[in-house]
Structure 1
Amino acid sequence: MTTELSDTTLSADRIVHLTDQLAALPHLRPGPDTDALFGGLVQAVLATPDRQAGDVLAHPEVHRRKDAIRDLSARGETALEHAWAEHIGTAPDARAALAAFPYLDNYRRLTALEARLIAHAGAGTPTSVAVLGSGPLPLSTLGYAHALDAPVVGLDRDATAVALARRVAERLGSANVRFEQADAADVALGGYDVVVLAALVGETPSAKAAILRRMADVMRPGALLLARSARGARTLLYPPVDLAAMPGFEVLEVVHPTDDVINSVVVARRAA
C-alpha cells in the first residue's frame, strides 16, 4: 500500500511539474524545450497504470490543473500540426518531410485500427466519410481515404487549418480527399455514411456531449459515428466521450489501446 501510494504521488508530482514548466513557456511552438516537456508529460501519462489513474486524477494538485493540462495539450498539438503542415507544404520533397514527422506511426496505427472497426461494424465500403476537426495536418483524413478507399471530406472551423490541409494533401498527391471550412455546431451531416469526431472537438466532456447530441439530430439513421475518446490518466490530455450521454446512438464497440496510441475509439450507429 505504501509503495502504491508512493508511486501515485511520484506520478502526480511529475505531471504537475511538467505542466507548470509548459505553462511558463512563452509559446508552445515546436522546439527542443517544448518537445522535451510535452514528450515527458505524455510519457508520464502513459506510464500511469489504470489501477493508479483514479488516485492520480484525484490528487489535489493534478485535479486543480486538469483543465490547464488539456488546454496546453490541445494548443501544443495544434501548434505542432501547424508547424509540420507548413514544413511539408514547402519542403522540396514533401514525402520525405512527412516521413520525419515524429508521430506518423501513431497516426497510421490509429487510423488503421479505426478502419478495421468500421469494417467490423458491418458498414461495408462507405461511399462518403466526414471528419469533424480534421486540423492543419490531416493525416487521419488522408489515412481514412486510403484505408477505406472512399471519398473523405475534412471539416474544420479554422480557415488557416483548412488552407494548410489542402496544401499538404496537394503536395502529397493524395486523392479522394477535400477540405472545407465548417463548424461542428451547425454543419450538415445527413449525406455521410461515416462521421468521425476528432479528439480535440469539444474541449470538455460536457462540450463533447453537446456536440454529439447535435450530431444525432443531423446524421442519417444507420450512419456510423467514430468518436475519439480517452480513458484513465489519458483523459488529462483529451476529453473522454461519456457513453451515457449519447442519445440517438447505439454504441457498438469501444476500444482502449494500451500502447503509446493515446486515444480510445468509440464506434456507434445512429439509431433508426
Structure 2
Amino acid sequence: MASQQNQSTFESETQIPGEILIGRVIQIHDRISKLESLRPSKQVNSLFTHLVNLCTLPSNIDIKALPQDVQHMRGNLILLCGRAEGLLELEFATFLSKIPRPLSNLNLFPYYGNYVELASLEYRILSDNGVVQPKKVAFVGSGPMPLTSFVMATHHMKSTHFDNFDIDEAANDVARRLVASDKEFEKRMKFVTCDIMEVKEKLADYDCIFLAALVGMSKEQKLKIIGHVRKYMKAGGFLLVRSANGARAFLYPVVDEVDLPGFELLSVFHPTNQVINSVVLVRKPIF
C-alpha cells in the first residue's frame, strides 16, 4: 500500500515517462477490449477512471511520434471511449428523465464538474473574442445528455437559443424529455436528428457553432466535417472545436491548427488540470 502511495505522489509531482504511460495505456486497452459490454458497471467505470487519471498526468508524450501499432491501438481506444461515454450519458439521462426536476440534479452525473469547468473556460474564451450573448448557437454532437448546452444556457448565455444536432434519435429523445421539465428552457432549446453533413444553408443561422470532440472519430472524417461547416456557416461566424493534447489524445481525436484552413485562428487552449478537452476557437473571415 505504501509503495502505491509513493508511486502516486511521484506521478503527481513529476512527468510520467512516455514509455511507461504508453505501456499502461496499452494494458488498459487490452482489458477494455475484452469486456463483454461497455455499459456502466463497477469494472467498466474503474477501467475508464483509471485511464482518464493516467492520461491527465503531466507528460511530454508526442502523439504524432508514436509507432504505427500504437497509433492503431489509440484509434481503437478512442472508439471504445466514445461508445462507453455514450452509454454512460444515456443511462444517467434516462434515470434523470424519470425523476422530478431533472435539470436541478445534473450534478449527479459523475463528470458534471468537468463540464461546468469546460463550459466556463469556453465561455471565457468566446467572450474574450467578442462572443458574449450570441442570438443563436449550434452544438454538433450533443448526445443524450447535452451538458454543455445546459450549463451554457443556465449560467452564461442566458438569452441564447440552442439547436442541438445529433445523429441518434434515441439520444435526442431522452434529451428532449430532460428539457421538457422546464418550459422556459424548452423554448430556447431544440434537438435535431441528422447527419451534420446534410445540414447546409441552415448553418448560416448561427453566430457560433460548437463541434463536440467525438464528432468525426477519424482525422479524415473530422476534416470533412470541418470543411463542410466552414463552407456553409456565415462569414464572421465562430467555430469552437474540441480537441485533445498530449496523452489526452488517447481519449479523443486531435484537431491541429493545420486542420483548419480558411479560418482565422483566435485561440488555442490546452488544459493541465482534470479537464480533458483542448479548445480551439476560429472565425470564418468576412470577405
TM-score (norm 2): 0.87
Return the offset for 1:124. 4.0
Return the offset for 1:69. 0.8
Answer yes or no: is 1:109 the counterpart of 2:117.
Answer: yes
Query: What is the distance in 1 between the residues matched to 2:130 and 2:85?
Result: 33
Answer yes or no: is 1:148 the counterpart of 2:157.
Answer: yes
Answer yes or no: is 1:135 the counterpart of 2:143.
Answer: yes
Q: 1:180 aligns with which of 172, 192, 199?
A: 192
Answer yes or no: is 1:94 the counterpart of 2:105.
Answer: no
Given that 2:63 and 2:246 are in contact with CA atoms closer than 8 Å, whether structure 1 keeps it comes out as: no
Listed as ranges, the matches of 1:52-91 within 5 Å are: 53-54=61-62, 58=66, 62-91=70-99
Helix, strand or coil at the partner of 1:40: helix
Unaligned runs of 5+ in 2: 1-13
Q: Counterpart of 1:235 in structure 2: which amino acid?
A: A
Given that 1:29 and 1:79 are in contact with CA atoms closer than 8 Å, whether structure 2 keeps it comes out as: yes
Return the offset for 1:41. 0.8
Residues 122 and 271 of structure 1, relative CA distance in 2, 3 Å threshold: same
Residues 102 and 173 of structure 1, relative CA distance in 2, 3 Å threshold: farther
Query: What is the distance in 2 between the residues matched to 1:64 and 1:43?
Result: 22
Q: 1:164 aligns with which of 167, 171, 174?
A: 174
Correspondence for 1:47:
57
**Which stretches of structure 1, 4 residues or more, deviate above 4 A after TM superposition?**
none
Query: What is the distance in 2 between the residues matched to 1:190 and 1:108?
Result: 28
Correspondence for 1:259:
273
Query: What is the distance in 2 between the residues matched to 1:193 and 1:263?
Result: 22
Query: What is the distance in 1 between the residues matched to 2:152 and 2:170?
Result: 22
Q: 1:10 aligns with which of 12, 15, 20?
A: 20
Q: Structure 1 stretch 66-75 or stretch 6-15: which is displaced more? A: 6-15
Helix, strand or coil at the partner of 1:259: coil
Q: How high is the sequence identity, in percent, across the aligned residues?
A: 34
Cα deviation digits, residues 239-262 of structure 1 (max 9, x gap): 111311222211100111110100
Q: Structure 1 stretch 203-212 or stretch 25-34: which is displaced more? A: 203-212
Query: What is the distance in 1 between the residues matched to 2:62 and 2:105?
Result: 40
Return the offset for 1:118. 1.1
Helix, strand or coil at the partner of 2:247: helix
Cα deviation digits, residues 7-27 of structure 1 (max 9, x gap): 333222211111111111111
Return the offset for 1:77. 0.6
TM-score (norm 1): 0.92
Correspondence for 1:31:
41
Cα deviation digits, residues 125-170 of structure 1 (max 9, x gap): 2100000011101111112222112111111111011101111222
Query: What is the distance in 1 between the residues matched to 2:16 and 2:108?
Result: 38
> What CA RMSD, in Å, does the superposition of the two structures yield over aligned residues?
2.1
Q: 2:239 aligns with which of 225, 241, 246?
A: 225
Residues 122 and 21 of structure 1, relative CA distance in 2, 3 Å threshold: same
Query: What is the distance in 2 between the residues matched to 1:132 and 1:57?
Result: 30
Q: Structure 1 stretch 200-209 or stretch 84-93: which is displaced more? A: 84-93
Cα deviation digits, residues 58-112 of structure 1 (max 9, x gap): 2666334111111111111111111111111112452564222110100011011
Q: What is the number of equivalent residue pairs in this alignment?
A: 267
Given that 1:205 and 1:242 are in contact with CA atoms closer than 8 Å, whether structure 2 keeps it comes out as: no
Residues 248 and 31 of structure 1, relative CA distance in 2, 3 Å threshold: same
Return the offset for 1:264. 0.4
Query: What is the distance in 1 between the residues matched to 2:105 and 2:36?
Result: 27
Correspondence for 1:119:
127
Unaligned runs of 5+ in 1: none
